[in-house]
């Protein structure tokens, strides 16, 4: 794996909800600190990194506390909206300790089905990376309903890697 990573210049890292959150649903700052150190090392080696991160809904639950209708789609979407802010704020604070600026990109299935949108995504990724900014991608769960969801972030990470022509997806 290390040899493959050494040969890779364009790297997509997929971070799952259970990895980025603690048992109580809060953002796992220790994990994120470790991730920031590793990303900094990769960037210092001249590698380009994109993160696809889950965790918004769980972070929303831990932030807002208990809502009686958590399984209702409107509450799920609201929890994602709340949690996405917490998630990105944690990324921003921790990665800034390593002089890494982060950018948020929220995508839907429709973004990958439109040639104009995929071109815009690709151009945005290249611009951010050219400027040394770390793109952090998540599905835009606040506007997605089941029939327009990408699926899970494994699918989103794979689509991102293909769109960007990444060398490796971790």
- What does the pLDDT look like over 63-92, one tens digit per residue? 887 665 667 888 888 889 999 999 999 999
Tokens of 32: 């994120």
**What is the DSSP code (8-state) at residue 72?**
S
**Residue 9 DSSP class:** S
What domains appear along the chain, each with residue ranges and CATH number? 2-169 (3.40.1160.10)
pLDDT digits (tens, 9 = 90+) for 146-163: 644 666 889 999 999 999
The confidence score (pLDDT) of residue 148 equals 42
* Res. 42 pLDDT band, cuts 50 70 90: very high
pLDDT (tens digit per residue) in 110-124: 899 999 999 999 999
The CA distances from residue 56 to 15, 45, 85, 107, 147, in Å, are 12, 30, 8, 14, 20
């Amino acid at each position: 794996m290390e040899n493959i990573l050494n040969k890779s210049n364009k790297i997509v890292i997929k971070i799952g909800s259970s990895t980025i959150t603690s048992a109580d649903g809060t953002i796992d700052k220790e994990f994120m600190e470790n991730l920031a150190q590793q990303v900094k090392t990769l960037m210092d080696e001249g590698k380009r990194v994109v993160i696809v991160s889950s965790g918004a809904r769980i972070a929303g639950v831990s932030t807002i506390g208990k809502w009686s209708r958590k399984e209702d789609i409107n509450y799920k979407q609201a929890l994602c909206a709340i949690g996405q802010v917490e998630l990105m704020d944690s990324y921003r604070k921790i990665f800034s300790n390593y002089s890494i600026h982060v950018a948020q990109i929220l995508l839907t299935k429709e973004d990958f089905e439109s040639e104009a949108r995929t071109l815009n995504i690709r151009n945005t990724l290249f611009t951010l990376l050219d400027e040394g900014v770390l793109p952090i991608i998540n599905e835009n769960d606040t506007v997605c309903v089941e029939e327009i969801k990408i699926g899970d972030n494994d699918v989103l990470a794979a689509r991102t890697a293909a769109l960007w022509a990444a060398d490796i997806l971790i």
